Amino acid sequence: MFRRLRSTPIPGTRDEYTGVDFNLGFHVRSYTLDLAYRVGPNHLSGTAVLQLDNWKSLKAMTLDLAGSLKVSKVTAAGSGGFTPRVARFRQSDNKLRLTFAEEIPVDSEFQLQIRYAGSPRPLRTAWGEIGWEELENGALVASQPNGAPSWFPCDDTPDEKARYEISVSADNPYVVIANGELVGRQAAGSRTTWHYRADFPMASYLATVQVGEYQQLDLSGEGQVPVRAWAPPELKDLVRDEFADQSAMLELYSRLFGPYPFPAYTVVVTEDELEIPLEAQGLSIFGSNHAEGDHAWERLIAHELSHQWFGNSLGLAQWNDIWLNEGFACYAEWLWFEHSADRPAADSAREFYDELAEKPEDLLLGDPGPEDMFDDRVYKRGALTVHALRCLLGDAAFFAVLRRYVAAGRHAVVEPRDLKREVLAEANAQSVPQEVVEKLWDDWLFQRELPEFPEPRR
């Protein structure tokens, strides 16, 4: 049995950022996805097996699933002598709605098997189309914040982490890449099934499948963690050059933040151009335009890697706190250049502080709202907040706090209170008055006006 991951109650019945109703009353502990995909017609079919337990009695329940994927059958199984039975199911408003023949008693463990098929496509959201996306020669999945239902039935909210096993069959010569480690590959006629297992809890928006004609590169260098890239054959040399520092970045972040949280790191570079790189758990996705040999995207290569700590291992309880993901990832860029180019993070902080000073000061970092959750000001003001904490504590104490925060939240979810608790403890050890920390916290997170530029404490 997993422990409950978030410390705060679920706020109401609807996610105020995505506008999607919560699926209440249960936890999904694992997903086993057995899928078949055909690139040409963009057709996905398969079965999802969900292992669940419920924290309240259930006569009915919902899951998130796009209407473009039609469910043909749902069956249930129980344990301990209890056998739930699905009386009926229907789909509406991107929800799969189940009604059981008898009420499922509280604290039961049960299984749902859902058979479905259709042509997957991105979901239309306030942030554009997200989820399963056709490429010129394959497909990718990028689901932040709520695109996971575009390809499998799930409880699509960031604090509900689960383990995943993903098997996808595709026509040869297509390669399928998914989260976790490849545990099997089986050819049968003109198709191959790729079987992956992710043994660490993962939020649904971080689950991914990548399909394309890729070849694998080893980018590990002398690092202890395997670092791989999958790229079209014609881009292999460019990718090897563009991502040459990937392993060094991983080694640096491991020293600064604590051990890399997964068995390996994978980069996928698509044939298509992508507007921005995309994160998933254990891997990142870049477009061909990010591998042109000019190293113009080095900061984003560093940024996406750092999300393996901040966002993936340390997940969010709710989207209001997205600065915990993006602020730390942006600051990680500055830390990389501090290491690789001898450019102090304070110089990067000053550059972007001056840029923020020229922009409207109408954003609350601690709760930016759905329209602004991906605004560049969240990223930069979040990074400046991290820098302000570094200035307050000093380098040795700051990185010690960071490692404790990362270790305490490893493979769970975090909230701002978790970071603040570590900061307050260190500040107390240094005889820094609590009101100094409280003012810094309030000024950067809950005031719209830009605070003064952070300077080291004297």
Judge whether 150 and 129 are in contact, CB under 8 Å.
Answer: no
Which pLDDT value is given to residue 82?
83
Judge whether 324 and 307 are in contact, CB under 8 Å.
Answer: no
Task: Name residue 279's beta-bridge partners.
Answer: 284
Element (DSSP H or E) covering residue 124: strand 123-125
Of 274, 371, 360, 368, residue with least CA distance to 325: 368
- CATH of 26-209, picked from 3.30.560.10, 3.40.50.2300, 1.10.10.10, 2.60.40.1730, is 2.60.40.1730
* Annotation says 331 is catalytic: no
Residues of the chain with CATH 3.30.2010.30: 215-308
* Annotation says 205 is catalytic: no
307 is in an annotated binding site: yes
Which pLDDT value is given to residue 10?
66
Which pLDDT value is given to residue 4?
40
As averages over each run of 10 residues, the pLDDT of the chain (458 residues) reads: 52 90 96 98 98 96 98 93 93 98 96 98 96 97 98 97 98 98 97 97 98 97 94 97 97 98 98 96 98 96 98 97 98 98 98 98 97 98 98 98 97 96 97 97 98 93
Residues of the chain with CATH 2.60.40.1730: 26-209
Task: Return the beta strands (E) in 13-108 as ranges.
Answer: 26-38, 43-54, 58-64, 69-78, 86-92, 95-104
Candidate list 116, 331, 379, 405, residue with the active-site label = 379
- CATH of 215-308, picked from 3.30.2010.30, 3.30.470.20, 3.60.70.12, 3.90.1150.10, is 3.30.2010.30
This prediction's pTM? 0.96
> Check: CATH 1.10.390.10 for 316-445?
yes
303 is in an annotated binding site: yes
Candidate list 133, 160, 304, 426, residue with the active-site label = 304
pLDDT in tens, 71-127: 999 999 998 778 899 999 999 999 999 999 999 999 999 999 999 999 999 999 999
- Tokens 């997957």, located at residue: 120
Which pLDDT value is given to residue 192?
98
Q: Which residues of 324-335 are buried (b: 16+ CB within 10 A; e: fewer)?
A: bbbbbbbbbbbb
pLDDT in tens, 167-188: 999 999 999 999 999 999 999 9
CA distance linking residue 164 with residue 116, whole number of Å = 18
Which pLDDT value is given to residue 68?
98
Q: Give the side-chain half-sphere CA count within 13 A for 235.
A: 25
Helix then strand then coil, in percent of the chain rounded to 5, is 30, 35, 35
Residues of the chain with CATH 1.10.390.10: 316-445
CA distance linking residue 27 with residue 29, whole number of Å = 6
